[in-house]
Amino acid sequence: MNYIYSLDIGSATDYAVGTMIMSYQRWQDGSAYAGRTWRDRNKTVVREKHVIYAWRPALRTLYKEIAQHTKRILQQPRFAGNCYLVIDQGQAGEAVRQMMVDIGLSPVGITSTGGQTVNRNHAAGITVPKRDLVNALKIELEQDRLKIANGIKHQDQLVKELQGFKGGMTKKGHDTYEAMTENTHDDMVMSLAQGIWYSREVWPRETIVEPSKKESEEEYDVLNYGL
């Protein structure tokens, strides 16, 4: 699958936010990747994450409406059968997850915790230390592998939140960011952090393909070689 839709469930005082992340592969030198030939053996393919859509409904939007909106997005041709759905399962998230299951969606529930380890066998889905979510986003930002598509709705708000996130992490450290996440202006960052963490679970980060055993120059795709 080439997309991840990450949904942070809101509350009476917090916005719900959905962010769509697209996988984009490029060569390590920055040029676009459009398939590999025999002449490209041993070159490195890097995977970037591009945010191509952001959604933030009004406060107190009914959970049923959030579920239905999510279904409409994932039924679009480019996403149908080609998109992971990840939702925040804390607070009201379990109720929304069940609504989504009832209308034919297959959400992966993630609950952020103050613990130290990831639990992938939790009855409510995956429990992930909040520190891991934050660090996953931090790594993508530091390595310049996270891009925001120009012109998407809420672009300015998302960029503003990411700038605050980067500043908090680089100048004052992790503990400062933990305090930042208690305010009402980080909803998009946390939706994105959740999706980025999951992307590192399901998408390879870098790919180096060994030379093909075939002595030909026919084109091949890295995914066809078990990578």
Q: For residue 113, is it within any domain?
A: yes
Domain count for the chain:
1
According to the model, what pLDDT value does residue 220 have? Answer: 32
Each residue's pLDDT tens digit in the chain (227 positions)? Answer: 899 999 998 776 788 999 999 998 877 777 777 776 656 666 777 888 999 999 999 988 999 999 999 999 999 999 999 999 999 987 777 788 889 999 999 999 999 888 888 988 765 689 999 889 989 999 998 888 899 998 999 988 888 888 877 545 455 445 445 434 454 467 889 999 999 999 988 887 665 554 444 433 333 333 332 32
Asked if 140 and 4 count as a contact pair (C-beta separation under 8 A), the reply is no
Distances (CA, A) of 22 to 51, 149, 169: 6, 10, 25
Q: For residue 221, is it within any domain?
A: no
CATH code, domain carrying 13: 3.30.420
Q: For residue 184, is it within any domain?
A: yes
Q: For residue 227, is it within any domain?
A: no
Q: How far apart are CA 189 and CA 184, in angstroms?
A: 11
Question: The domain containing residue 85 runs over which residues?
Answer: 3-207
**Largest separation between any pair of C-alpha atoms in the chain:** 63
Q: Which residues contact 97 (CB under 8 A, 6 or more apart)?
A: 87, 89, 107, 109, 125
Q: For residue 178, is it within any domain?
A: yes
Q: For residue 222, is it within any domain?
A: no
Q: Which residue has the tokens 């909803």?
A: 187
Q: For residue 226, is it within any domain?
A: no
According to the model, what pLDDT value does residue 31 have? Answer: 77
pTM of the entire structure? 0.81
Q: For residue 97, is it within any domain?
A: yes
Q: How far apart are CA 221 and CA 227, in angstroms?
A: 10
Strands (E), 37-114: 44-55, 83-88, 108-113
